[in-house]
Amino acid sequence: MLSLDLNYAMNESLAPCAGMREIAPLGERVDRCLADLRAGGPLKGWVGLPFEDGPAAEAAAFARSLPEGLRDVAVLGIGGSSLGPLAVYHAARHPHVLRPAPGDERSRLLHFLDNSDPDTVGSILEGLDPATTLYIVITKSGSTAETASQLLIAWARASEVLGESARDHFVFITDPERGDLRALAGRLGVRTFSVPPDVGGRFSVLSPVGLVPTAAAGLDPAALIAGARRVAAACLDAPLADNPAALLAAIAHLADVREGRNVHVFMTYSDRLAPVGAWFRQIWAESLGKPRAGGPPAGPTPLDARGATDQHSLLQLLVQGPPDKFVVFLDVRSRREVTVPALFEDLPSFGYLAGLPLATLIDAERRGTAMSLARAGTPSITLTVDDTSPASMGALFFLLEVATAIAGSLYGVNPYDQPGVEQGKKLACGLLGRRGFEEMRAEARNLEDRRSDDLVIEF
């Protein structure tokens, strides 16, 4: 069960911003958007993923077929191909494994490369023994530069050690037909899974992109799907007033357009859920950070934060900074039981903590923060999950995906494109001398030529 508490956004006696409380006028637009989502269509394949059991079963069967000797899993990918499975893994597994436990399936560790930084890529790949490692390569297009580089390095190392059987240590997750990774899979005889062509990268966590790494970690991919399916009706069918995804989208949208609160803080009060913040930041920023057709540049800025830690970092700004913030708290009900022992009780800084469960402390900190924000005029909502299991994560992902799609509709933008990122990629290809990017190379050189060394301070 999830809950969404709207008191500090909608309750007249608690919520500071009147403009955010009048959501009813958005009801019709939300209804149209939901009808549109339910009807499916180009790039809306993600809407149907909670209702498909096949891919999860296939991922589970694949994981069962893995030899016991595989102890590590390297996930090669970046961005939308990496943030989702990372969030599921981090939520379910101990976020602070000091030493892997011996023996059981749970000790299979996942390592996410997630960058082109040679420190990260080199360290992870060199630290793994190919004989006991599974490499999962994820790129929908099959051409992402970072992922292609990671793959070439991993493949060279694995085939040096394992020879022809290297192929059995790789899995490619990519478009079913297009792209160079698909072509390579055929040539090398590597096992593949498909990202449905009508599912974009940042909406792909409930496809094999999230399911296969989840299964490889020894977690149940069907639970991820079941969790999403359980909340699907509430998110896709219910009218605005009863629909948590639509309410989240509508309130966030009104915070921006009526109250000028375009910094949307996503503050997780659980270290296990912290990577959900990075996942949300991507889907919110890439889906909404763009102008309406013909309009000026627009879109909310997501800011992910971690409670209680960032109370010591961002809270000052949230309370006394510009009134441009709206906060979504993400909380969890079930936590590990850790109790503060009664010691040194005569000292006032220790006495009041005696016998306190840490869960009570962090909960009081979150509530105190929401209250002090409300008193300072900053509205917030609180989303709570029961636990950090794959089922809860599936529900959370689907809720936030639907919320993003609805927000796209309310902002009047296409949530599935990202035209702004193409030019930087092309300029990088130009700088690297890639064939076909000669014009971009000239453009990049022209910009470099205009640089002045006088404007570089060395110290």
Q: Catalytic amino acids?
A: 286, 312, 425
Which of 29-37, 58-66, 280-288, 404-412 is the region at the interface with a copy of itself (rule: CB under 8 A)? 280-288
CA dihedral of residues 4, 8, 10, 11 (deg, nearest 10): 110
Residue 68 C-beta: closest distance to a copy of itself, Å: 19
Q: Which helix (H) or strand (E) holds 181?
A: helix 180-188
Q: Are 379 and 248 in contact (CB under 8 A)?
A: no
- Asked if 390 and 223 touch (Cβ cutoff 8 Å), the reply is yes
Question: Which of 3, 38, 40, 177 is close enough to bind a copy of itself by CB under 8 A?
Answer: 3
Map the footprint of a copy of itself across residues 170-229, applying CB under 8 A.
179-181, 183-184, 187, 201
Question: How many chain residues touch a copy of itself (CB under 8 A)?
Answer: 162
CA atoms within 13 A on the CB side of 296: 0
Contact flag: residue 83 with a copy of itself (CB under 8 A): yes
**According to CB under 8 A, which one of 39, 103, 163, 456 is a site residue for a copy of itself?**
456
Q: How far is the CB of 311 from a copy of itself (least distance, A)?
A: 6
Measure the CA–CA gap between 337 and 351, rounded to whole angstroms.
20
Cβ proximity to a copy of itself: between 51 and 344 the closer is: 344
Options 31-39, 45-53, 76-84, 220-228: segment touching a copy of itself (CB under 8 A)? 76-84
Kindly state whether residue 22 participates in binding a copy of itself, applying the rule CB under 8 A.
no
Residue nearer to a copy of itself on the CB measure, 44 or 335: 335
The footprint of a copy of itself on residues 388-417 (CB under 8 A) is none
Contacts of 395 (CB under 8 A, 6+ apart): 2, 227, 228, 230, 231, 385
Between 54 and 348, CB nearer to a copy of itself: 348
**Which helix (H) or strand (E) element contains residue 329?**
strand 325-332
Nearer to a copy of itself, 60 or 195 (CB): 195
| 436 near a copy of itself (CB under 8 A) | yes
Torsion (CA) 21, 298, 378, 16 in degrees, nearest 10: -30
CB closer to a copy of itself, 55 vs 300:
300
At its nearest, how many Å lie between a copy of itself and the CB of residue 78?
Answer: 6
Whether the CB-CB separation of 59 and 194 falls below 8 Å is answered with no
Closest separation between CB of residue 54 and a copy of itself, Å? 26
Q: Which of 79, 210, 379, 408 binds a copy of itself (CB under 8 A)?
A: 79
What residues form DSSP beta bridges with 326?
264
Of 288, 296, 294, the closest CA to residue 263 belongs to 288
Least distance from C-beta 140 to a copy of itself, angstroms?
12
Q: At what angle do helices 390-411 and 27-39 cross, to 10 degrees?
A: 120
- The backbone region for 370, taken as left when phi is positive above 0, alpha when psi lies in -120 to 50, beta otherwise, is alpha
The one among 107, 168, 226, 301 contacting a copy of itself by CB under 8 A: 301
Residues ≥6 apart with Cβ < 8 Å to 418: 286, 290
CB 57 → a copy of itself: shortest distance, Å?
26
Contact assessment for residue 6 and residue 370, using Cβ atoms and an 8 Å cutoff: no
Scan residues 317-376 and list those touching a copy of itself (CB under 8 A).
317-325, 335-338, 340-341, 343-344, 347-353, 356-362, 364-365, 367-369, 371-376
CB neighbour list of residue 276: distance below 8 Å, 6 or more residues apart: 87, 91, 268, 330, 393, 396
* Binding region for a copy of itself (CB under 8 A) out of 23-31, 55-63, 221-229, 308-316: 308-316
- Does position 88 interact with a copy of itself (CB under 8 A)? The reply is no
Ramachandran angles phi, psi of 107, nearest 5° = -85, 5
How many angstroms separate the Cα of 336 from the Cα of each of 24, 96, 284, 340, 360? 40, 13, 30, 13, 11
| Enclosing H/E stretch for 264 | strand 263-268
**Which amino acid would we find at residue 313?**
S
Q: Which is nearer to a copy of itself, 43 or 359 (CB)?
A: 359
Residue (65 or 446) nearer to a copy of itself, CB: 446
Q: List the x/- string, 227-266, binding to a copy of itself by CB under 8 A.
A: ----x--xx------x-x--x--------------xx---
C-alpha 16, offset from chain centre: 30
What's the min distance (Å) between Cβ of 438 and a copy of itself?
12
Q: Does 267 bind a copy of itself (CB under 8 A)?
A: no
Region binding a copy of itself by CB under 8 A among candidate stretches 30-38, 62-70, 164-172, 310-318: 310-318
Among 72, 175, 259, 401, binds a copy of itself (CB under 8 A): 72
In the range 95-134, which residues lie near a copy of itself by CB under 8 A?
Answer: 95-99, 109, 111, 114-124, 127-128
